Homo-oligomer: A and B are copies of this chain.
Amino acid sequence: MALKNIPDIVVGRLPLYLRALQRMHDANQTVTSSQDLAARLGISAAQIRKDLSQFGEFGKQGTGYDIEYLMNQLSQILKVNRVWDIAVVGAGDIGSAVARYQGFTDRGYRITMIFDSNPNKIGTKVGSFVVQDAAHMVAAIQKAGVKVAMIAVPAANAQAVADELVKAGVQAILNYAPLSINVPEGVRVQHADPVTLLQRMTYYLD
């Protein structure tokens, strides 16, 4: 499916398109246009058309895009027409919240395990999961073949956890810890530290 070399910045916009289409679908809308999407997303219509055209011809001149069809195509492209299992590391406030979060359903993901190294937390329940001992993490992830993980441990431990996840075969890491983690070529990382997003905004305030 991934034909040409698509710029990562384009890949990063596809989830926004898919999300907007899902909202339109929720509202029983059946067709949309690049202009309609543009108005909702604050992205130019030309850019949306250009981005989509990298992957195929999904629209019809004069009428635009069929929402269900485009959702299906984008889901396929983003590989979320299946369900990816996720391992969560860290059963603190953030780890517990994502483990209980209902928002992954129908968007391609499902939490299946949560780990912590604190003996007081191991064995307790978080949502519907029993917190497992981080000492068994690598083996458990390997055995289950999990490829996606979230790091929600303190900054001081995050790089060590990332190293273990890589060793266990994880290929995509969402990192909530407040530092940049380094991983080998071929492993993907996205940073989700809320403070960097806040700082990016307060720059503009007085």
Q: A-side interface residues toward B, CB under 8 Å?
A: 2, 8, 11-12, 14-16, 18-20, 22-23, 26, 40-42, 77-80, 84, 86, 93-94, 96-98, 100-104, 107-109, 147-148, 150, 155-156, 171-174, 178-180, 182, 188-190, 192-206
Q: Which residues of the other chain, B, contact A193 by a CB distance below 8 angstroms?
A: 19, 103
Q: Are B98 and A199 in contact (CB under 8 A)?
A: no
Given contacts A20-B180, A205-B147, A205-B172, contact A199 B15 (CB under 8 A): yes
Measured CA separation A109–B199 after assembly (Å): 9
Distance in Å from the Cβ of A194 to the closest Cβ of chain B?
6
Distance in Å from the Cβ of A162 to the closest Cβ of chain B?
13
Distance in Å from the Cβ of A175 to the closest Cβ of chain B?
10
| A-B pairs, 3 with minimum CB distance | A97-B97, A172-B201, A15-B196
Q: Which residues of the other chain, B, contact A205 by a CB distance below 8 angstroms?
A: 79, 84, 147-148, 171-172, 188
Smallest CB gap from A74: residue in B? B199
Distance in Å from the Cβ of A188 to the closest Cβ of chain B?
4
Given contacts A97-B94, A97-B97, A203-B11, contact A198 B77 (CB under 8 A): no
Q: Are B198 and A19 in contact (CB under 8 A)?
A: no
Given contacts A93-B101, A97-B93, A108-B202, contact A194 B174 (CB under 8 A): yes
A–B Cβ pairs within 8 angstroms, 13 of them: A12-B200, A14-B203, A80-B199, A86-B198, A107-B178, A108-B199, A148-B198, A150-B194, A172-B204, A188-B204, A188-B205, A190-B201, A192-B192
Q: Are A195 and B94 in contact (CB under 8 A)?
A: no
Other-chain contact of A93, B18, B79, B100 (Cβ < 8 Å): B100
Q: Are A195 and B40 in contact (CB under 8 A)?
A: no
Q: Are B180 and A201 in contact (CB under 8 A)?
A: no
Q: Name 13 extra pairs, CB < 8 A, besides A15-B196, A42-B180.
A: A15-B195, A16-B196, A19-B178, A26-B155, A79-B202, A93-B101, A96-B97, A107-B195, A108-B195, A148-B205, A174-B197, A188-B205, A190-B201
